[in-house]
Chains A and B, each alone.
Chain A
Amino acid sequence: NAGVTQTPKFQVLKTGQSMTLQCAQDMNHNSMYWYRQDPGMGLRLIYYSASEGTTDKGEVPNGYNVSRLNKREFSLRLESAAPSQTSVYFCASSSGASSYNSPLHFGNGTRLTVT
């Protein structure tokens, strides 16, 4: 049972390069999320998709774009990477609106370094 799968696991980019982080879930969840995790800052929501066909900004959306390709897949794109985007990126999914009765299921993260 794979759950939430993220690719790649590690990536090093130069400033100005672009890349897409991929995420897929096999739990038939409606909602998907992208978070970044930085030391001392906790997890911060970048974008989320409440259901297939919808996306909304979270707390820190600047510099990112997302695509909800279908119910299973939700990708995060960095168009022009900056050192400030060095972070660990987590994709998550939930059956409904994230809350205590619809917990987030996380992937194992993508560790991104921008030099």
Chain B
Amino acid sequence: QKEVEQDPGPLSVPEGAIVSLNCTYSNSAFQYFMWYRQYSRKGPELLMYTYSSGNKEDGRFTAQVDKSSKYISLFIRDSQPSDSATYLCAMSASEYKLSFGAGTTVTVRA
């Protein structure tokens, strides 16, 4: 069983919709939780991070962590065509070694 499982998608939503992305994990030692965004043919880039249970907002993006359920989510409000990308969750229990989800590809239709 993988340490990090991510909803595989793909997701296709109309512009303006709310996008919900989810990951579950099995390693209770994970302390830091990140979301990376990867555009087609590009490397991933850090989008958001959290290190405690609860919600964190950054503009149209909200990251949610529930450590008791080992579950993290990313919500994108008022989605735009420019949000079309693959979103990767990532978690860290030790230095230098992140565990990544397989990614969810999102397409926002204009």
Contacts and interface: CB of A to CB of B under 8 A. Distances in A.
B101 A42 contact: yes
Given A99-B32, A100-B51, A92 B43 contact: yes
B34 A100 contact: yes
B88 interface: yes
Secondary structure type dominating chain B contacts: strand
Given A43-B88, A98-B96, A99-B32, A106 B4 contact: no
A97 B2 CA distance: 23
Interface string B25-40: 0000000111010000
Contact of B95 (A45, A98, A103, A108): A98
A104 B42 contact: no
Interface in B56-110: 88, 90, 92, 95-98, 100-103
Nearest to B95: A97
Interface residues of A, number: 29
B86 to A, nearest CB: 10
Q: Which of B34, B92, B95 has the most CB of A within 10 A?
A: B95
Nearest to B45: A106
Contact of A100 (B2, B92, B96, B103): B92
Given A42-B102, A101-B49, A104-B98, 16 more contacts: A31-B96, A42-B2, A42-B100, A42-B103, A45-B98, A97-B96, A98-B95, A99-B32, A100-B33, A100-B50, A103-B49, A104-B44, A104-B46, A106-B44, A106-B45, A108-B43
Q: Nearest 8 pairs between A and B by C-beta?
A: A106-B43, A97-B95, A100-B49, A103-B46, A42-B100, A43-B100, A42-B102, A100-B32
